[in-house]
Structures are given as structure tokens and as C-alpha cells.
A and B are shown apart, each in its own frame.
Chain A
Amino acid sequence: MGNWIESKGPDSNIVLSSRIRLARNISGYHFPHVMNDEESKKIIKKLSTFMLKENRMPAGNFQLIEMADISHIERMSLVEKHVISPRLAENYKNSAVIVNDDSTVSIMINEEDHIRLQTINPGLQLWEAYKLADNIDDTIEERLDYAFDQRAGYLTVCPTNIGTGIRASVMIHLPALSMTKNLNEILNAITQVGLTIRGIYGEGSNTQGNLYQISNQITLGLSEEEIISNLAAVTGQIINMERIERAKLLQSGRARMEDSIWRALGILQNARVLSNNESLGLMSNVRLGIELGIIKDIDITTLNKLMINTQPATLIKLEGKDLDTESRDVKRAKYVRENLK
């Protein structure tokens, strides 16, 4: 299966990754935001002992990373790679993550809830991601009593996660639909079926790099299967719409489209200073070029790696020393040049 950054999956020329997150709490303990330090440590110990020492976990080797043991930059880099959430990094004094070798599975401890189990697959593989998450969830439940209620389902800190506790999402590249402004229409349609769409770097209207995240909003009253089916079906439709828009754009103005794709590559290969914003925008054009088969000698996984490794914290981590914004932009340009030769 592999990591979404370094490997490809079904429909990889539009969908970057499929993610499942399950929110769970252990019965009989206060929720993380009201726990004292001692209790937090107890929860981390409880989970890590049986999961790591007994080696009972499916999906490879796991290690425990306590957030307090790593630097701020390392934590932020894990956020940029989507291994942990910003919240886990913020609550670093009392939180931890259990993660497997290729970061396809991460179990966040003391995030908003005691457990936030996450699986990520490359491309459109929601069912595969869910199967694995479900399997690990069962393994944890063999040993720990979850807070569960027959009527309300899995009990969570926030009432918006109650029931299944599931958040299923796909990260999707929609340059043609963004360009033709058809996204609002989609937005209206998908909210009718309990789904939502948002930008992945920066919430709200400032979507960068034409990357969006589509996910379920409703967690109570529908089964996991229904939630995933809805999302998979809607994603399938959006993929089709994006393909049609891409074809239309090519037909009506191939030269213009190719021009913007090759110019973007030209800038990325030659720039000496690159802001994160500019580089994400250009990378979207190049990604589109690869997805359409216009650019043939660059692999999509190269672009995934570029996108992640040029994020501020990961860039600083690669450099091994702190960088101000200006030197970061220079470093980013250098990194992109060297990896896009």
C-alpha cells in the first residue's frame, strides 16, 4: 500500500490521499482537556504498553513518540506531513503518537479525545483505509473499555464527533473546477448529503494549490459504511466533473493551458526566491501537467515530496537550523530547483 507521499494509488491523478480518523475515549477517565498531568501519562502508558510491548498491532512496526520529547520544529513537521494534528502538537506536554514505519497509521493519544486513530492511503482507497482502522480499533478494544452508549454511540469530547466518531476524508486536486468557478455549485450540493469541502492549507477561502479536503460532517445516525459510501460516491462524481472540465479546457485553449503548465515548471526550475504560497500555486500547475500527461519525465510522487518538504517546519528540519522567512524562501527555491532538474 505505502505512504501517500511516496506511492501512488487508484485515481492518483486527481486524488492525493484517503484518510480515516476514529475518535475514541477510554471509559472511566476524564477527557484530556480536564485531565491532570498524572492522568495523561497514565493514558499514554496504558495504550503504549499493550500496543507496543505485546506487539499486537497490525500494519508493521510501531513506535511511541511523546510530543514533549521532540522539538517544536519536529512536531510541526509531523503536522505538515499529516501524521499528527495541530492540536496534538499544541498540547505537547501531555500528548503522544504511536506511529508505524511508513506513517500510514498513527494513533494520537490525548488529542481532543483520548484516542484519535488515523489511517492514510494514497489515492482513492477509503474502504481499504477504513478496513485497517476498523481492525486496529478492534485490537485496541480487546484490551480497553471504550466509552460507549447504546444510543449515542462512541462518546466524544465534542458533540460534533459523537456516534461513529468517524471522519473520512479525501485530499483532492481540483485545478479545472477551481478555474471555472464550478466549486460553489458542488459545495451546495454536497452539504445536502452531510459532507463538506475545505482547503487544506489555510481554512476558508484562501485555498492554496487548488487542493481540497472533502469529508463527512455527520457522525451520528449513519453507519460507518453509509458515511464512507456517501463520500466515495460524491468523490467519484467530483472526479468525473474535474475530468470533464479539464478536457473542456484542453479543447478550448490547449496552447494557453500548456503554456501556463510549462511556465510554472520553468519558474520552479529557475527561481531563486520562492514563497510557500507561490510555490504551492506553481506546483498545482505542474501537477496538472503531469496528471494530463503533458509533462512526462516528472513523477507525481516527486511533487508530493516537494510539496511536503517545502512546508516551513519541514524545510527547517531538513536544513537542520532555524531560518527566517527570507532565507526560508531562498532555501525553498534551492530545494525545488535541485529536485526538479
Chain B
Amino acid sequence: MLCQICNKRPANVHMTKIVNGEKTELHICEQCAREKENNPMNDAPFSFSNIISSLMDFSGSGAMPYTPKENIKCPQCGLDYAEFKKTGRFGCSNCYESFGNRLEPLLKRIHGNTQHTGKVPKRTGGIIKIKRDIEKLRYELKRAIDNEEYEKAAELRDKIKNLESQDMK
């Protein structure tokens, strides 16, 4: 994560404030933290939402600030994109779909990545898991063929067939 003040150095100072139940966080680098400390006038109340907003206004290319033309609203919970920018919090899981690829630069800035590669829920995510397993096996199959390990390749091919038939169900 990059410093939320200078956007240049890695953030390694983390502050959390809880005021009247309102949690605000700031992730900044040491240098900016020191500057902030030395200048008490500079202690403008930071808020988590400001930070999220500033992250979202960043287009990813470093060029013009990103400004959406229209304000999208999540049909399920009614949260609109402008409101999300203010609070930095989604109203329901459907918001992710509603705001779609507008979120990508934000996720990229926070995590350096936009694609989940971890655990998949067993029951509801069954098909996703099978698809992922197939991809993995195909990669292994390619390697087996490259290495002329044909017995292994045959085994892998059968495994893939088996999974593909499950995927069709």
C-alpha cells in the first residue's frame, strides 16, 4: 500500500481513530507522518472516506483524475456511487456488481491486484472450484507433454475429462 498523503512511498505508519463510534484510518509513510507531527496546524481531521475518495479519483495511469459521468446506484440497497466515495463502505454485496469495473483502480491501489486466487466456498462455489482445478490440470498436462511424460499426460487427460463432465451437470 502506498502512502495516502504523498502517494509515493510505501505506507508503514498506521493510525486508527475511534471518535463517537466512527472509525477512521490513515496509512501513511514515515516521512509524511513526521511532517504531520511537526506541524500541529496540519492536523486536519482525516477521514477514511477522504482516503477512499482520493484513491478512487486516481485513474491508475497517473493522468487525469477519474470522474464518473453519471452516478450509478445499486438497485439492491440503494447506495449510490457518490455516497460510497464518501463513506468507503458498501451497502450490500450487490454493490460490487453495480459499481463494476469502476472499482478496479481502487482494488489495484489497495491490494496491487484485482483477481481473487484464494479459497472458494465449497457448496456455492463448487463450479468455480472445478473450473479452477481444470485450469490447473491443463497446465500440468501441457508440462507433461512438453516433458514427453505420456503416461502422466494420459492420466491428467482423464482427470480433466472427468471434471469437465461434472462441470456440465
Contact = CB atoms under 8 A, between A and B. Distances in A.
A272 B128 CA distance: 63
B76 to A, nearest CB: 8
Contacts of B88: 158-159
A184 B79 CA distance: 41
B93 interface: yes
Contact of A157 (B10, B52, B90, B117): B90
Interface stretch (B59-67, B108-116, B161-169): B108-116
A163 B121 contact: no
A195 to B, nearest CB: 10
A34 B121 contact: no
Contacts of B96: 149, 152, 155
B122 A221 contact: no
B124 interface: yes
Nearest to A199: B14
Given A158-B88, A220-B113, A148 B118 contact: no
B123 A141 contact: yes
B144 interface: no
Interface in B107-144: 107, 110-125, 128
Contacts of A152: 96, 107, 114, 116
Find the residue from B18, B52, B90 having the highest chain A CB count within 10 A: B90
A198 B14 contact: yes
B52 A159 contact: yes
Interface string B69-109: 00000000101000000001111110011000001001100
Contacts of A204: 13-15
A154 B119 CA distance: 9
B30 to A, nearest CB: 7
Contacts of B106: 159
Contact of B10 (A160, A192, A221): A192
B103 A191 contact: no
Given A90-B21, A164-B116, A220 B111 contact: yes
Nearest to A86: B18
A142 interface: yes
Interface of A: 25, 27, 29-31, 33-34, 86-87, 90-91, 134, 137-138, 141-142, 145-160, 162-164, 166, 184, 187-188, 191-192, 194, 196, 198, 203-204, 217-224, 227
22 contacts: A27-B124, A30-B91, A34-B92, A141-B121, A141-B123, A148-B120, A149-B96, A149-B97, A150-B125, A150-B128, A153-B116, A153-B118, A155-B93, A157-B89, A158-B88, A164-B116, A166-B118, A187-B12, A204-B14, A218-B111, A220-B116, A221-B114
Lowest 6 A-B CB distances belong to which pairs? A221-B113, A153-B116, A147-B93, A220-B111, A164-B118, A155-B93
